Amino acid sequence: MQPVLELKNLSVEFPSRRGTLKALNDVSFAIAPGEVLGVVGESGAGKSLTGAAIIGLLEPPGRISSGEVWVSGRRIDQFSDDQMRSVRGREIGAIFQDPLTSLNPLYSVGQQLTETIETHLPLTRSQARQRAIELLESTGIPAARERIDHYPHQFSGGMRQRVVIALALAAEPKLIVADEPTTALDVSIQAQIIDLLKKVCRENGAAVMLITHDMGVIAETADRVVVMYAGRVIEEGRVGDLIGEPKHPYTAGLMGAIPSIHLDVERLAQIDGSMPRLNAIPVGCAFNPRCQQVMSICKVDQPTLFQTSTSRAACWLHKELS
């Protein structure tokens, strides 16, 4: 089955007066139709930047320096701005963290939805409006026929995020990039949005790239997980395997920092240190200054993804198993 999204050795860099900073380094993964791929890691790991590179929304002077982005069998990383505008919305939908920054406060949600639909689908104004109402209803907006003419400030945070999801689905894209879609919402609304994303994936056969730092959201939503650190993929596997038996020390640290409902502990485990700056990424494995299992080779050579019993992990501990 052809992947909806395929990244091949994607690298992103930012030229600066002090030299070129490599923000993404050789990132590769794929998402199949109907699959939810969770992309997880601390702030600065490169999760949102990967999403921006896919959508073609890198902030200058950032640029893709090498690698390829394929969507539904077409390479899009070399597209012009005009070509990417036709891809965004039609082939790739985007859901961002803060719905207030995604919606124009000067236009009703109906105007924004119908404009998106008319841009990408061969529908009349009345047909586009009817589809917009159906989208709002499908995402759980009550009294959608009346509320379609309301403005973003007249909706709650959870309702605004549902409107943003409706916008992302307006042109029936096959790929949805969801960047922290539940972070600004309370727990009960988070659960509703997660259920909605899973429903969209199941009913429309869309592939979802779910970017988050919340392993609980990953466990509830994703089929597979990619763990990123300092701009690289350091572990990839099925969600149950990574949560139950993480192979990279960083992934194990992320899991150890999650409170347990079964154990009564005074202090949670934590990963010492912080994500390295782009101009100070350590030689060898970027995680080596924070790793409790560091070896001499970790400070010299950068590991590739080695096959383990349950996943692929970029750690020298698993070299002999590959």
Written as six digits, the tokens of 180 are 């922290």
For 110-131, what is the mean pLDDT?
A: 94
When the pLDDT of each residue in the chain is averaged and rounded to a whole number, the result is: 91
pLDDT top residue among 140 and 132: 132
The C-alpha atoms of residue 292 and residue 288 are separated, in whole angstroms, by 8
Residue 311 lies in a domain: no
Residues 267, 260 contacting (CB under 8 angstroms): no
| Residue 98 predicted with pLDDT over 90 | no
Average pLDDT estimate for 198-226: 88
As for how many domains the chain has, the answer is: 1
Asked if residue 218 belongs to a domain, the reply is yes
Predicted confidence at residue 257, as pLDDT, reads: 79
What's the pLDDT at 134? 93
Closest CA to 92 of 190, 5, 3: 5
Q: Give the domain range for residue 202.
A: 5-91+173-272
What is the pLDDT confidence band of residue 207, given thresholds at 50, 70 and 90?
A: very high
* Residue 154 included in any domain: no
The whole-number pLDDT of residue 32 equals: 94
Asked if residue 35 belongs to a domain, the reply is yes
Quote the pLDDT of residue 112: 95
**Predicted local confidence at residue 291, as pLDDT:** 95
Percent of the chain with pLDDT over 90: 70
In a domain, 76, yes or no: yes
Length of the chain measured in residues: 322
Q: Is 73 exposed, middle or buried (0-12, 13-18, 19+ CB in 10 A)?
A: exposed
Domain assignment of residue 231, yes or no: yes
What is the phi/psi pair of residue 142, to 5°? -70, 150
Query: How confident is the model over 7-27, as a mean pLDDT?
Result: 94
Closest CA to 180 of 207, 213, 220, 152: 213
> HEC profile for the chain?
CCCCEEEEEEEEEEEECCEEEEEEEEEEEEECCCCEEEEECCCCCCHHHHHHHHHCCCCCCCEEEEEEEEECCEECCCCCHHHHHHHECCCEEEECCCHHHHCCCCCCHHHHHHHHHHHHCCCCHHHHHHHHHHHHHHCCCCCHHHHCCCCHHHCCHHHHHHHHHHHHHCCCCCEEEEECCCCCCCHHHHHHHHHHHHHHHHHHCCEEEEEECCHHHHHHHCCEEEEEECCEEEEEEEHHHHHHCCCCHHHHHHHHCCCCCCCCCCCCCCCCCCCCCHHHCCCCCCCHHHCCCCCHHHHCCCCCCEECCCEEECCHHHHHHC
**Does the structure show a pLDDT above 60 at 133?**
yes
Q: Which of 136-140, 244-248, 278-282 has the lowest mean pLDDT?
A: 136-140
d(Cα 86, Cα 266) in Å, to the nearest integer? Answer: 53
Q: What does the pLDDT read at residue 267?
A: 74
What global pTM score does this model have? Answer: 0.92
What's the CATH code of the domain at 84? 3.40.50.300
Judged against a pLDDT cut of 70, whether residue 281 lies above it is answered with yes
Q: Is residue 266 one of the residues assigned to a domain?
A: yes
The bridge status of strand 36-40 relative to strand 92-95 is unpaired
Asked if residue 114 is part of any domain, the answer here is: no
CA atoms within a 13 Å half-sphere pointing along the CA-CB vector of 220? 16
Question: What are the CB-based long-range contacts (under 8 Å, 24+) for 81-84?
Answer: 81/56, 84/55, 84/56
Query: Do β-strands 207-212 and 36-40 pair in parallel, antiparallel, or remain unpaired?
Result: parallel
Per-residue pLDDT, 321: 54
> pLDDT digits over 167-202, tens only?
998 888 999 999 988 876 777 778 888 888 888 778
Q: Does the pLDDT value for residue 261 go beyond 80?
A: no
- Taking CA atoms, 200 is separated from 93, 166, 234, in Å, by 12, 10, 29
State the pLDDT confidence band at 48, using cuts at 50, 70 and 90: very high
